[in-house]
Structure 1
Amino acid sequence: MKRILIPTDFSENAWNAISYAMQLFHQEVCEFFLLNTYTPVIPSSRFMAPIIDGVRIEDAIRYNSETGLLNTVERIKSEFCNDKHSFKTISSFNLLVDEVKDLVDTYNIDLVVTGTKGASGMDEVFMGSNTVRIIKSTKKCPVLAIPQHFDFSVPTEIAFATDFNRFYTLSELYSLIEMAKSFHATIRIVHVQYEIKALTELQQFNLNMLRKYFAEIEHYVHTVSELNSVSQSLEVFSEELGIHLLAMLNYQHSYMERMTREPIVKRAAFHTQIPLLVIPELGMEANSWHNPKREMAKT
């Protein structure tokens, strides 16, 4: 059973992420944890009343959170009736990123799915600040970010962005491999270079290891010239090849780190038009989604 955490603020953006997750995993047994966090404003002066119409502000906000979660579950069951899916709601007086981090540890979460959009009035922003914070703070499982207006498509074309400078472990790539197998997808390994040149000996070794990991999956290697930024280069590549999902590992000096630090002007063209699977740096002792050690234990 997969354990999937989905934060929601009850917006249509959040619902779109929920809808994507229900369709992506409709054939798998899953337990979904729906999370809503709230941080009531504490009255700081005598002009801010802590009680309105006899109801404490904190109690009213907590009630709205809990009710919103129950209504969300009812909507899911109405639109995506699936006996393989079960749900747990969590209403928490906490900061979103802190609560996500705690729940990943507490419930051994396999995947976090979140909606993403640029900040209001700033379409140039790579993705919402909460999404970026979740990606940076979630160290034990992948994060799947779903763009605001993305309609679900079966991910039969998956791009994996890498510069081949780091050795990836099977534990880190296992979630990507399992997804590709589940949907009979093609993986397109894409390498963005500022200046096209031959791979170093280290890069070639890491590429050969990737080929071994993807041996049972149709895969191709693509080298593309960097445009104004890595993010824009990957967007153009994804559009031209009809990519349904972009995946990358998040570690120091990775594409993901570079993309979240690129100046707004440079990343203006990248609006996360397709889902983004961000895999944390797990290492050899990973306890991640479909950990290969779990699979070997079963056999």
Structure 2
Amino acid sequence: MQRILIPTDFSENAWNAIDYAMQLFRNKRCTFYLLNTYTPVIPSSRFMAKMIDGVRIVDAVRDTSERGLQKTVARIKDKYRNPNHSFETISSFNLLAEEVKDIVASFGIHLVITGTKGASGADEVFMGSNTVRMIKSAKKCPILAIPHHFEFVTPTEIAFATDFTRFYTTSELSPLIEIAKMFRATVRIVHVQYSIKALTELQQFNLNMLRRYLGGVEHYVHTVSELNSISQTLEMFSQELDIHLLAMLNYQHSYMEKMTREPIVKRTAFHTQIPLLVIPELSMEGISSEKEEEEEEQSIQAHN
């Protein structure tokens, strides 16, 4: 049973992410947690009304949030009628990134799926400020960002961008491997180099380990020269090979971190045209606790 969190602001962009999630996991048993956060401006002045028609402003905004979530669930059930899927709704007076972090921890969320642009779209340069904040705060959960106008395509071609400078663990790679196996996808390991040169001994070791982890998945290694920026290079690579999903690990000095720090003028062309799977770096503590959970679950199954 997968536990998937989908934040929504009831925009069409948010609905597009929900639509993608329903199709991506159509054959999986999932509980989807639909989240809407609200932060109403609470008047502090005694000259400003705290009530609208006898209803407190905070209560009115909360009611709107809860009604919006119920309508969204009804819309999903009406369109998909999938017995594999169940739904929970969460309406919260909180900042989105903070609430996502709390829910991931409290409910053991496996994946967050979000649209890449807010309702206004004004802050869309890389992938929208809310998504970037979520990626930075939810450090123990993969985040799948769906572009505003992207229509679902079965992800049979997946790119995994890496520079081989870091050793990956099986726990970190599991979201990528699970999706690849689910759709019998080809994984294209893409290495962006400023100037083409041979891998160091460490890089070669990390590549060999990565290929071992991907043993059951068809995969190829591509080395490409950097164009104007990493984001533009990956954009071109994705277009040329008709990539359906781009995956990256998020750690210090990773491609993901470099892309979020690139000068705006270099990445205005990169509007995440395809879904982007951002995999968090897991600490040893996170890995050991994950193993403990697995052992506990196996123990419970053995007793049943």
User: Which amino acid in structure 1 is aligned with residue 198 of structure 2?
Assistant: A
2:22 equivalent to 1:22 = yes
- For 2:122 and 2:95, the matched residues in 1 are separated by 24
Q: Which residue of the partner structure matches residue 258 of structure 2?
A: 258
Give the unaligned 5+ runs of structure 2.
none
Could you tell me how far apart the structure 2 residues matched to 1:114 and 1:136 are?
A: 14
Structure 1, gaps ≥5 residues long: none
The corresponding residue for 1:85 is 85
Contact 1:174/1:292, CA 8 A, preserved across alignment: no
Take 1:279 and 1:175, find their aligned partners in 2: how far apart are those partners? 8
Name the structure 2 match of 1:186.
Answer: 186
Distance 1:157 1:262 in 2: 26
Q: Deviation string for 1:54-75 (max 9, x for gaps)? A: 2111111000000000000000
Q: Distance in 1 between matches of 2:180 and 2:286?
A: 20
Secondary structure of residue in 2 paired with 1:6: strand
The answer on whether the counterparts of 2:123 and 2:129 sit within 8 Å (CA) in structure 1 is no
What is the number of residues matched between the two proteins? Answer: 297
Distance 2:75 2:89 in 1: 13
Distance change (3 Å), C-alpha of 1:58 and 1:84: same
Rounded Cα–Cα distance in structure 2 between residues aligned with 1:122 and 1:14 = 15
Instruction: Write the letter of the residue equivalent to 2:157.
Output: E
Distance 1:5 1:182 in 2: 19
Pair 1:237 & 2:227 matched:
no
Post-superposition offset of 1:117: 2.4
Given the alignment of the two structures, is residue 204 of structure 1 paired with residue 204 of structure 2, yes or no?
A: yes
- Offset of residue 287 of structure 1: 6.0
Give runs of aligned pairs for residues 1-299 of structure 1, distance below 5 A: 1-117=1-117, 120-121=121-122, 125-286=125-286, 294=294, 297=298
Quick one: distance in 2 between partners of 1:114 and 1:287?
25
CA shift, 1:291, in A, is: 7.3
Secondary structure at the counterpart of residue 141 of structure 2: coil
Give the conservation status (yes or no) of the 8 Å contact 1:51–1:57.
Answer: yes
TM superposition score normalised by structure 2: 0.93
Distance 1:121-1:61 versus aligned 2 partners, 3 A rule:
closer
> Do 2:158 and 2:243's aligned partners in 1 also have CA atoms closer than 8 Å?
yes
113-122 or 269-278: which moved more?
113-122
State the one-letter code of the partner of 1:163.
Answer: D
Q: Distance in 2 between matches of 1:268 and 1:241?
A: 21
Shift in alpha-carbon separation, 1:292–1:28, aligned structure 2, 3 A: farther
Write 1 or 2 for the structure with the bigger share of helix. 2
Letter matched to residue 241 of structure 2: L
- TM superposition shift of 1:84: 0.6
Percent identical: 73
State the 1:140 CA deviation.
1.1
Counterpart contact for 2:157–2:185, Cα < 8 Å: yes
Post-superposition offset of 1:103: 0.4
Asked whether the equivalents of residues 171 and 292 of structure 1 are also in contact (C-alpha less than 8 Å), the reply is: no
Gap change, CA 1:161 and 1:291, over 3 Å in 2: farther
1:175: Cα distance to partner?
1.2
Q: Distance in 2 between matches of 1:93 and 1:285?
A: 31
Query: Any idea what SS the aligned residue of 1:266 has?
Result: helix
Q: Please report the RMSD computed on the Cα atoms of aligned residues, expressed in angstroms.
A: 2.0
Alpha-carbon distance in structure 1 between the residues aligned to 2:164 and 2:106:
34
Residues 169-190 of structure 1 show CA distances to partners (whole Å, capped at 9, x for unaligned) of: 0110011111101100000000
- Judged with a 3 Å threshold, the aligned counterparts in structure 2 of structure 1 residues 276 and 267 are, in CA distance, closer, same or farther, namely same
Superposition deviation, residue 120 in structure 1: 3.4
Per the TM alignment, residue 45 of structure 1 is displaced from its structure 2 partner at its CA by 2.6
Asked if structure 2 preserves the Cα contact closer than 8 Å seen for 1:140 and 1:287, the reply is no
CA distance in 2, matches of 1:62, 1:210: 47
**1:94 & 1:182 partners in 2: Cα distance?**
35
